[in-house]
Amino acid sequence: MRARVSCALSGRPASPEPAAAPFGKRDWARGALALFLFAAGCLEVPKPKPASDVDVRDVAASTMVLESACSPTGIELCFDAYDNNCNGIIDEGCGLETGVLQFTIAWQEPAVDVDLRVTGPDGSNARRGEPNEAGLVKDRDCPGGDNGCHGQNVENVYLAEGAPRPGRYRVAVRLEDLRGQKPPIRVRLSARIGQRQFTSVLVLEERSDERTLEFSL
């Protein structure tokens, strides 16, 4: 007996069986292709993981003390790289983009150049303009040319598209240039990784001083 194939999702009945006829090689090929396409139409496409399903493992910080508990301090304040209202989003309503992954730094000294570098599992650095292979993009680079950040030095990297890629991530905060400012430079780093959050105040002592946070998904 020849089997019938029906699609419960579409509710369409299966095609009636053709009348008995000679079944050549071409008919077999057409039948196999139709069966494949028909079956493919019935498959459910996996949805992107919600933030609650992001599995964060192996969190390791180099020369920084991470806080994972959020203490609300009132309404959200801009350009401090801190989730003041503990809603899981860093500096929302301040013109910064956000995603299931978000990494933000802020510092006070207007001329000092600090750099936030986030690399995904493929090792490529998140840059401005377009997402890297991991879907990460940087939406601010301060202090920027021509005082582009207006003294509000915040750098922000977020997951712009797709689900978080599994693998190892590295978040580095580096003091690029003091530009005449006397160290140390205090930098707030906050990270949103799915439903988990981390924050720390980094004290950078000299040029090229760097602190890193690594984790796996």
Residues that bind Ca ion (CB under 5 A): 76-77, 80, 82-85, 87, 89, 91
Of 66 and 77, the one with the shorter C-beta distance to Ca ion is 77
Residue 158: strand, helix, or coil: strand
Phi-psi region at 208: left, alpha or beta (left = phi > 0; alpha = psi -120 to 50): left
The minimum distance between CB 76 and Ca ion, in angstroms, equals 4
Q: Please give the C-alpha separations between residue 45 and each of 40, 42, 52, 148, 159, in angstroms, as whole numbers.
A: 10, 9, 19, 43, 21
Total count of residues recorded for the chain: 217
* In the complex, least distance from residue 15 CB atom to Ca ion, rounded to whole angstroms: 55
- The string of DSSP codes covering 172-186 is EEEEEE-TTPPSPEE
DSSP character at residue 157: E
Amino acid at 151: G
Distance in Å, CB of 149 to Ca ion, minimum: 16
For the bound state, the minimum distance from the C-beta of residue 79 to Ca ion, rounded and expressed in Å, comes to 7
Cβ proximity to Ca ion: between 51 and 89 the closer is: 89
Asked if 215 and 197 count as a contact pair (C-beta separation under 8 A), the reply is no
Nearer to Ca ion, 124 or 152 (CB): 152
C-beta of 104 vs 119, nearer to Ca ion: 104
- Joined tokens for residue 163: 């689900």
Q: CA 55 to CA 164: how far, in whole Å?
A: 10
* Minimum gap (Å) between residue 212 Cβ and Ca ion: 23
Closer residue to Ca ion, CB minimum distance, 88 or 110: 88
d(CA 183, CA 187): 12
Q: Which is nearer to Ca ion, 83 or 113 (CB)?
A: 83
List Cβ neighbours of 163 (8 Å cut-off, separation of 6 or more). 48, 49, 100
- In the complex with Ca ion, which residue's Cβ is closer, 154 or 185? 154
